[in-house]
Amino acid sequence: MDRATDTGQEAPALETPFRAGTPAPVLFAAAWAVFVKDLRIELRTRYALNAMVLFAACTAVMVSIGTTFIGLRRTEEALLIQSSLLWVAFLFAAITGLSRGFVQEEEARTMAALRLAAPPVAVYLGKFLLNLALLALLGAITSLLFIVLVRVQVGSPLAFVALIGAGSLCLAAATTILAAIIARASFKSALFAVLAFPLLVPPLIIAIQGTALTLENGGFGPALGALQFLVAYSVATFVASLMLFRFVWEA
Amino acid sequence: MAVVERLGQVGKLLIGVWIASIAVAMFLVIPQYEGLGNAGRIVIMHVPTAWVSVLAFAVSALFSGLYLWKRRPEYDHYALAAAESGFLFTALATVTGMIFSQVVWGIYWNWDPRQTSIFVLLLIYAALFALRSAIDDPERRRQLSAVYSLFAFVTVPFLVFVAPRIADSTLHPNCAFIQGSTCDGITLEVGTIGLLGDRKVQLLALERQGDVVTAEVKVSEPGLTSETILRPSYDLAAGEMVARPEFPGLRYRLGLEAVDLRANTALLNIEAPGTGLLENRRTLFTFLASIGGFTALFFWLLTLRATLLDVQWTLAQRGGSRV
């Protein structure tokens, strides 16, 4: 590194072809292109997908082996336990795969090319969409595994789906920028979990309690507060990510 | 320059004397909380450290933002110094809180909302240090840790919304804290009216079912805007309160502490959150002095550590090696 940047009197002007004033349609087209590119890479290698689904399947099977003999009565506590186990499986499976989007760019040494090819916000949006797609799939698979193997009975299916969806949105919004951060550091996967967990405590508490409520036959009403919280959390972290991503990308 | 240094020396001494006198005042000046014994005094240290841990987090985020804006290494040094001293104070707040909790409630850890949030704060600090140690390039390290610090700062307020959801298990400053000192209660005969806190209460009836006596109490809001019927109950055999309903819209609970069925009277009491603790002047002033002292201590630590980091950085640059 040269001395001029170290003393930091003048921030070096980054020569990227994209400035703040990129028009929205161009931005979204670029974001979509990044998303499609990543999806194609992911479907070719299925690296993240395999790891995530196998992790979720392992957890569901372990929980199933451990709990189905007990014959839990459907008390409030039992529903909370079931929803905690579901979220444990979902969270840890998600953590194994969500950093893939950026780590893969770093490993394949394609970051510089991507930096030239797309504005930072478009890169962020593309990776965010990829993570969201992965999480939607993972959420569906984990829930099905739990319904089949752990005998989770969903009382209000629509509210349940909405809650898993809102939870996935939170996970994607909070962790995409962290994936970009850890891609530039050492011990990537361990660091990702360490950075993500403290930020995910509030939405996880709410998501676990909300999911337990949707397992009863109450419809949307009881879980509405949880849904609102999760959406608000997603919006806040998403906006913060959009504002901060530029600094991660040029670091 | 010499004047500033001299002032700094004097300030440092003043902080030392100030904190020392608070430690003395904590044991000698303020009265003992009834029912808590000397353990209650730890609050004078506990609350300021908790306050500083939150302040440090905000200061760290502020300097992180400044660093991203201006790109001056000094700002990053301040952000790191704030995080480091913040971590120290957070650890202190956690430990003093746990000691107090064990003494008063018999349990070290309860996932109380405040315990949850300080736990998350500890985790965030730890994550920040882990991130810093995992990046070799100094400039990248500064930039990425500044982003993480700001990003974490955005998510912390959501803990405030989580708190009411898990408040069922709260042990924090309710009346348990100050039961003896402020909540004396009021003895009413059936049909009579009394004042409990700022609420007018009327004992309408006492009903006995087995060993449990239930009182029917009409509670009026201040200004008599609305009225509610609450039914606290008392177990005669066990000699303890059973149901302690909450006042509408408040964290205060109404308890039935004793019943005399022959005289048809009942002792009603309010269980208030920890506000009454500071009604005592001496306690209040010691408490405020402690908050001021710890805040000053934090800023002193902050400038000291940041200056050290500056020096370290200058030396490293001169030597041509990396920090």
Residue in B72, B140, B150 closest to A184 by CB: B140
Q: What single letter denotes the amino acid at residue B250?
A: L
CA gyration radius, chain B:
26
Q: What pLDDT does residue A18 have?
A: 53
For residues B28 and B51, state if they share a domain: yes
CA distance B91 to chain A (A): 16
Q: What pLDDT does residue A182 have?
A: 92
Q: Are B255 and B232 in contact (CB under 8 A)?
A: yes
Residue of chain A whose alpha carbon sits nearest to that of B111: A205
Residue in A187, A202, A233 closest to B134 by CB: A187
For residues B135 and B6, state if they share a domain: yes
Question: Are B162 and A206 inside 8 Å of each other by CB?
Answer: yes
Question: Are B124 and A237 inside 8 Å of each other by CB?
Answer: no
Alpha-carbon distance B84 to A161, whole Å?
Answer: 42
Q: Are B244 and B271 in contact (CB under 8 A)?
A: yes
Residue found by looking up tokens 């949850």 in the block: B116
Q: A interface mutation test: which of B66, B151, B156, B322 has the most A CBs within 10 A? A: B151
Q: What pLDDT does residue A210 have?
A: 92
Query: Average pLDDT for residues A68-81, to the nearest whole number?
Result: 77
User: Three-state DSSP class for B235?
Assistant: strand
Specify if A56 maps to a domain: yes
Nearest to B301 by CA among B80, B73, B43, B46: B80
Residue in A11, A195, A197 closest to B131 by CB: A195
Question: Are A240 and B150 inside 8 Å of each other by CB?
Answer: yes
- For the record, the structure tokens of A36 come out as 């499609």
Low-confidence ranges of chain B (pLDDT < 70): 1, 32-40, 104-106, 110, 112-113, 160-185, 195-199, 221-225, 247-253, 270-280, 320-323
Residue B215's domain comprises 184-271
Collect all residues of chain A within an 8 Å Cβ-Cβ radius of residue B136: 186
Q: How many domains does chain A have?
A: 1
Question: Are A205 and B162 inside 8 Å of each other by CB?
Answer: yes
Question: Are B127 and A8 inside 8 Å of each other by CB?
Answer: no
Specify if B33 maps to a domain: yes
- For the record, the structure tokens of A62 come out as 């372990």
Q: Place A1 in a pLDDT band, splitting at 50, 70 and 90.
A: very low
For residues B34 and B118, state if they share a domain: yes
Cβ neighbours around A240 below 10 Å, total: 20
For residues B32 and B151, state if they share a domain: yes
Nearest to A250 by CA among A62, A19, A24: A19
Which is higher by pLDDT, A211 or B192? A211
Question: Are B73 and A5 inside 8 Å of each other by CB?
Answer: no
For residues B225 and B293, state if they share a domain: no
For residues B249 and B301, state if they share a domain: no
CA distance A34 to chain B (A): 23
For residues B123 and B265, state if they share a domain: no
Specify if B276 maps to a domain: no
Angstrom distances, CA of residue A187 to CA of A91, B27, B136? 20, 48, 12
For residues B11 and B144, state if they share a domain: yes
For residues B202 and B83, state if they share a domain: no
For residues B146 and B8, state if they share a domain: yes
The residues that bridge with B203 in the sheet, in sequence order, are B217
Q: What pLDDT does residue B197 have?
A: 55
Q: What pLDDT does residue B152 have?
A: 92
- For the record, the structure tokens of B270 come out as 């309010």
A94-126 per-position pLDDT tens digit? 999 888 888 888 888 888 888 888 899 999 999
Angstrom distances, CA of residue B300 to CA of B12, B85, B293, B313? 7, 10, 10, 20
Q: A interface mutation test: which of B76, B144, B317, B318 has the most A CBs within 10 A? A: B144
Question: Are A202 and B155 inside 8 Å of each other by CB?
Answer: yes
- Dihedral through CA B15, CA B19, CA B24, CA B25, nearest 10? 100
Specify if A15 maps to a domain: no
A4-61 per-position pLDDT tens digit? 444 444 444 444 445 556 788 888 999 999 999 999 999 998 888 899 999 999 999 9
Residue A140's domain comprises 22-249
Residue A242 pLDDT exceeds 90: yes
Residue of chain B whose alpha carbon sits nearest to that of A240: B151
Collect all residues of chain B within an 8 Å Cβ-Cβ radius of residue A181: 131, 144, 147-148
User: Three-state DSSP class for B209?
Assistant: strand
Specify if A72 maps to a domain: yes
> E strand or H helix at B217, and its extent?
strand B212-220
For residues B144 and B195, state if they share a domain: no
Specify if A9 maps to a domain: no
Q: How many domains does chain B have?
A: 2
- For the record, the structure tokens of B306 come out as 């940041």
